[in-house]
């Protein structure tokens, strides 16, 4: 009987140990699983929040092969391979989704395209091999191109841009990518050269051309970063960053000597935000803008109902005038109702984007700029200019949506950080700041399409909410149960 009890005890002990070991193993795996589930949950929400950039509408991700690592700056990073659409299976380029952990439940998403040099050893074709040779491009899935660089012996040697263009049927070559009109395009040894074809772009559905992805060299780099630095959230210093050198130059060239004290203080704060300053805002909206000069002043505008106006002085030289009546709060019968700093920031950022659109007109010479200085007409012309010729209505509408999303998110992120003194780390500005930014598109095709002035439309209440919030900040007065979020000038 005693032996029988001993045998039973041994069996029970073995079962207990097996269960304990099994639970310990489960816990080890569950920690990884929880992180993956958290990242995928965030990413699914991110994907559903508006359309993706045209090139990345239907990407497939290999979540089963994702791995968790740390970027060079210490940021916890989840790398998810992408199932690439390749014209030829022998192509060696690849795409990887990087999800950077910002805080609990929040991430930053970037897509990296890696183009190894075909003529080097296999060991030099890997970005983690210590001797990478080739190109790396960074994309924001919603906004589009962020940065790109050429690597030699594991160091950035040249920064550039990546664009998808169709090969010219007559010459068999790509047309020039973004005409070189600024001092960031350098010629001579190591400087600006011919565009380099990276890969054919597989197009789903009918296509009128043969599109390919090209790297357009812009500036040589000395002492550039490594691939590990380049793939950190900020881009690794000299190897590239989410804020372009041109955008920083634009910010530096702003002359605010004729601004009133309140607007001047607001502009100065916009220049010095930690994450979404003016240069960053311009880069988010258009990463490859030419350098232009801005004179911003307080004064009389040509149309008394305008808060501000942007006009052309000369080529790449523009003037922004904030209405004296707007600054003093005597607009439209409202006496002694100066705007909040949030309203001022919104007006300033809107007019700076307005100036950028004028610079594009100057650069491409495809429009008669003297007739389209008003923002809605200029904005719609810009969208048309950035839509492939012969595009369907659906494609044109998609381009309107894409550019509106760039405009709204870039401005909303900037004004939210200004008003809260806290960067928008999640990538999602609060709805109230999105509303304020959307109000800047009033009168454009996309605003009227999404928020028609029709009481029977499902979005009519949203339209009223958007326009009402702009007025609340403009006059620094509550409406109904809504109060100003911005602060009065001190």
From the list 439, 444, 449, the residue with the least C-alpha distance to 350 is 439
Q: Is the model more confident about 456 or about 161?
A: 456
Going by pLDDT thresholds of 50, 70 and 90, the confidence category of residue 15 is low
Count of residues making up the chain: 490
Going by pLDDT thresholds of 50, 70 and 90, the confidence category of residue 221 is low
Whether residue 175 is predicted with pLDDT greater than 70 in this model: the reply is no
Helices (H), 277-337: 278-285, 324-328
Whether residue 191 is predicted with pLDDT greater than 80 in this model: the reply is no
Return the pLDDT at 244: 63
Q: List, in order, residues 6 or more apart from 288 with CB less than 8 Å away.
A: 145, 161, 178, 244, 246
Share of the chain above pLDDT 70, in %: 72
Q: Across 53-67, 338-352, 388-402, which has the greatest mean pLDDT?
A: 338-352
The whole-angstrom separation of Cα 479 and Cα 463 is 15
From the list 78, 82, 106, the residue with the least C-alpha distance to 94 is 82
Least confident of 225-229, 377-381, 389-393: 389-393
Least confident of 323-337, 344-358, 430-444: 323-337
Conformation bin of residue 402: beta by default, left when phi > 0, alpha when psi is -120 to 50: alpha
* Contact in structure between 352 and 282 (CB atoms under 8 Å): yes
**Which residues pair with residue 164 across a beta bridge?**
213
The whole-angstrom separation of Cα 319 and Cα 379 is 18
Residue tagged 């990087």 (tokens): 98
The beta-strand segments (E) located in 36-105 are 60-61, 67-70, 76-83, 94-103
Whether residue 207 is predicted with pLDDT greater than 60 in this model: the reply is no
Over range 38-50, report the average pLDDT.
89
The whole-angstrom separation of Cα 306 and Cα 464 is 20
Q: Is the model more confident about 454 or about 73?
A: 454
The whole-angstrom separation of Cα 471 and Cα 478 is 9
Q: List, in order, residues 6 or more apart from 417 with CB less than 8 Å away.
A: 273, 274, 275, 276, 423, 424
Return the pLDDT at 176: 46
């Amino acid at each position: 009987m005693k032996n029988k009890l001993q045998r039973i005890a041994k069996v029970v002990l073995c079962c207990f140990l097996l269960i304990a070991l099994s639970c310990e193993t489960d816990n080890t795996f569950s920690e990884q699983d929880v992180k993956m589930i958290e990242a995928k949950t965030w990413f699914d929400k991110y994907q559903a929040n508006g359309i993706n950039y045209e090139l990345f509408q239907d990407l497939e991700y290999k979540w089963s092969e994702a791995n968790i690592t740390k970027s060079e700056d210490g940021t916890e990073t989840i790398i998810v391979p992408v199932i690439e659409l390749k014209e030829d299976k022998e192509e060696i380029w690849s795409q990887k989704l990087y999800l950077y952990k910002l805080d609990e439940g929040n991430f930053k998403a970037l897509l990296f395209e890696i183009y190894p040099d075909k003529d080097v050893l296999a060991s030099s074709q890997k970005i983690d091999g210590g001797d990478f040779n080739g190109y790396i491009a960074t994309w924001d899935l919603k906004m589009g191109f962020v940065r790109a660089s050429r690597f030699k012996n594991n160091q950035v040697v040249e920064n550039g841009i990546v664009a998808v263009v169709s090969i010219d049927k007559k010459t068999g070559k790509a047309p020039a990518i973004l005409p070189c009109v600024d001092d960031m395009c350098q010629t001579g040894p190591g400087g600006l050269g011919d565009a380099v074809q990276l890969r054919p772009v597989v197009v789903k559905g009918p296509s009128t051309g043969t599109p390919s992805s090209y790297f357009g060299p812009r500036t040589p780099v000395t002492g550039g970063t490594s691939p590990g630095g380049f793939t950190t959230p900020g881009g690794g210093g000299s190897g590239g960053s989410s804020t372009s050198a041109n955008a920083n130059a634009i910010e530096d060239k702003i002359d605010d000597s004729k601004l009133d004290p309140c607007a001047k203080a607001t502009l100065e704060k916009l220049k010095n935000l930690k994450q979404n300053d003016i240069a960053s805002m311009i880069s988010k909206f258009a990463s490859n803008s030419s350098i232009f000069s801005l004179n911003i002043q307080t004064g009389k505008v040509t149309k008394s109902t305008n808060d501000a106006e942007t006009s052309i002085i000369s080529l790449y030289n523009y003037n922004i005038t904030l209405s004296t009546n707007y600054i003093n709060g005597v607009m439209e019968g409202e006496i002694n109702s100066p705007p909040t700093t949030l309203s001022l920031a919104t007006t300033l950022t809107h007019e700076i984007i307005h100036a950028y659109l004028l610079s594009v007109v100057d650069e491409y010479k495809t429009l008669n700029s003297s007739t389209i200085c008003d923002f809605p007409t200029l904005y719609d012309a810009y969208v048309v200019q950035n839509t492939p010729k012969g595009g369907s209505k659906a494609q044109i509408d998609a381009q309107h949506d894409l550019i509106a999303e760039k405009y709204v998110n870039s401005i909303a992120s900037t004004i939210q950080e200004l008003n809260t003194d806290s960067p928008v780390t999640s990538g999602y500005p609060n709805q109230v700041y999105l509303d304020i930014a959307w109000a800047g598109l009033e009168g454009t095709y996309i605003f009227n399409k999404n928020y028609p002035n029709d009481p029977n439309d499902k979005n009519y209440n949203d339209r009223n909410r958007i326009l009402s919030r702009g007025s609340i900040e403009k006059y620094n007065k509550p409406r109904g149960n809504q109060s100003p979020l911005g602060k009065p000038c001190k």
